[in-house]
Amino acid sequence: MPDASDRPDLARVVPKAEIHLHLEGSLDLETLIAIRGSRGEPTDREARRRLAALYHHRDFPHFLRNFRAICEEIRSPRDFSRLTEALSDHLRSDRVRYAEVMLSPLIFTRAGLPLDEIMQAIHAAARRGAAEGGPRLRFLFDGVRQHGVGALEELVEAAAACRGFEVIGIGMGGDERASPAQEFAAVYREARRLGLRTTVHAGEFDGSRSVWEAVEVLEVERIGHGVRAAEDAVLLGALRRYGVPLECCPTSNLRTGVVRSWEEHPIRALHAAGCWVTVNSDDPALFATTLGEEWRALETRLGFGPREALAIGINTVRASFLDDEGKRVLIDEMTRAAEDAGCLA
């Protein structure tokens, strides 16, 4: 039997899907500098040093501040077009076939950018990328919990109005401790009534209570992160019964201090408990990762074998909001690629 080091790289040869990816958090330093240069703003050594600091985070609150600062650098539909083009290129090079991408449009509309112009730019860039062999991109509008119920109501209305731009659902990120989930329950019900798919960040910075509320109060279809569920054995049983997928993002959790080390990351325990575990990159530029690197971490840092890593990748497709035929086609392609390359030997 070949040694693991002799096997082809599973992450490199297998086509993939991603379901927890923030558009703003995919803005890499070089693309950001190019965007600033196109506006005639400084791109000298001092400017690069200041901007590079936004990609290093002491803890979760510091990450949120850096994320806001990155968003402030996106100021026009043209910026969104360049950002989306860069994301499509990065995903194509990583053999990502399909991605559900979150973005927080109200941050930008409140700064004066028209929503239609933002989405026209994003949608056109996504279509160009797909035509050139890149992934199919679909979008979820992501609210910010600390902005309150009114903002999420506005977000749901905006998402429903933007279906023509491949907007398929809504989520909510930010500080999980800012407001109780019950305040948003009616808004999530309205989103479902309008046919929007639903997810929410929970069990990342806050504990298992946040995951309980996501499942039983908001009744979401998926949970962003959810790793703190490992602290509650009763909750693990409930997640198994409900079959709610967890959008796990291992490197993100390390970079923000949600977990202290790879050895302590709960994804292995969640998987062993029968939870529906997926793997994603979250904010790949801000965390210096890719989806391929997350796949590699499953094997090299988190104790999974190649068949288990492939199964988690397939679980990600199954948890996506693709139609059944799209899922079947992609899963078949993934399985054949892994087998043909000898990755599972």
The residues annotated with a catalytic role in the active site are: 204
Cβ(263)–Cβ(295) under 8 Å? no
Cβ(174)–Cβ(206) under 8 Å? no
Question: How many angstroms separate the CA atoms of 23 and 2, rounded?
Answer: 39
Name the residue type at position 314. I
Question: How many angstroms separate the CA atoms of 121 and 31, rounded?
Answer: 16
Q: Which of 135, 136, 134, 195 lies closest to 170 in space, CA to CA? A: 195
